Amino acid sequence: MPEMSDPSHEREPLVKASFNLPESELAALKQLASRRSTSATQVLRQALASELFIQALADRHAKLLVQESDRSIQQVLFSQTQTGAARSPQLAGAA
């Protein structure tokens, strides 16, 4: 998977795409872009790269752990769809 600092999309021709989102999700996208001082397109690219990374972990039945600011560890659990795709992350206490 290309690193975020290695924008491989710059080597490929760009294709314009259109998506339908509820207003609340579009507002969240714009808020993330503003917070990161970047474009909505870049936020979507980063989200896609993250999703591909997480899907690869789920496919390997790997664990994704998150360390909270209080240093507690949480495991991110993904339910599987009938096709095996990861969805709906949930936090669970990890040992």
Mean pLDDT of the chain: 82
The pLDDT value given to residue 23 = 97
Residue-by-residue DSSP string for 29-90? HHHHHHHHTS-HHHHHHHHHHHHHHHHHHHHTT--EEEE-TTS-EEEEEEEE-TTS-EEEEE
pLDDT of amino acid 93: 62
* Res. 78 pLDDT band, cuts 50 70 90: confident
User: What's the whole-model pTM score?
Assistant: 0.69
- Is the pLDDT at 95 greater than 50? The verdict is no
- Give residue-wise pLDDT tens across range 18-61: 999 999 999 999 999 999 999 999 999 999 999 899 888 888 88
